[in-house]
Amino acid sequence: MAEDERQVAWSGIETLLNAAKAQLNDQQVNSYLNDVAERSGHNIREARMWYPLAVYEQMLTLLGQRCFPGFKEREQAYNLGLAAFEAYRQTTIGRVTTSAISAIGPYKTLERICKQLSQTFSGSTCKINQSVPHHYSLLINGPHPHPAYLEGYLRSILNASGAQQLIIAAGPNAPEQGSFDISWS
C-alpha cells in the first residue's frame, strides 16, 4: 500500500480525542486541535470516516508532548496508550466493553484487539500465535500505532480483562511491521 493511501478510521482518531479530553483542560484541547489542523491541514473537529495515517501519527506525537512534557518520546507514547484506554473506560460504551472483557478474559480480548487493529488501520493485518499456554505473539503487518503507545494500550486493556502478572515485550519494529510477545498467568 502506498504511503499516501494508508489511513486510520475515525475510531482511532476518537480514541486520541478522548485521551486529550481526559488529560487536558478545554483550552489546552482547543489549542491541541488547532495545532493539528495547522500542521496537517485536517480539521479533526469535522469527523470523517477515514484520515491519512500521517494525521494520526502527528496527533499522537503532539498529544504525547502536551500530556507528558519532559518525558522521552517512547515514554510519552507509552503513557498515552495507558491514558487512552483509561479515558475510553470512562465513556458509556467503554464501561460496557470493560465489563465484557473482564467476562471473556485476556485471550478473547487479545483476539478482539487484533480484529479492531485490522479494522482501524487500513491495509493492516493482525495475527496472534500461541507458543505455550498464556504466551502469545502479536504480529501487525501494515500501518499501526507507535509501538510504545500500543504497548501501553495493550497493558491497560489486558489488565482490565483479568490478565495477572502481565508481561509485554515489543519485538523488532519496522515501519510496516509491529510485533509483541505477551504473556500472563
- pLDDT tens digits, residue range 71-127? 999 999 999 999 999 999 999 999 999 999 999 999 999 999 999 999 999 888 899
**pLDDT attached to residue 179:** 87
Which long-range CB contacts under 8 A does 24-30 form with residues at least 24 apart? Answer: 24/66, 24/67, 28/66
Whole-model pTM? 0.88
**pLDDT attached to residue 5:** 72
Q: Do 168 and 182 touch, CB atoms closer than 8 A?
A: yes
Q: Where are the domains of the chain?
A: 3-89, 104-183
Helix (H, G, I), strand (E, B) or coil at 176: coil
**Percent of the chain with pLDDT strictly greater than 70:** 95
Q: Do 106 and 162 touch, CB atoms closer than 8 A?
A: yes
Element (H, E) at 135: strand 135-141
**pLDDT attached to residue 165:** 96
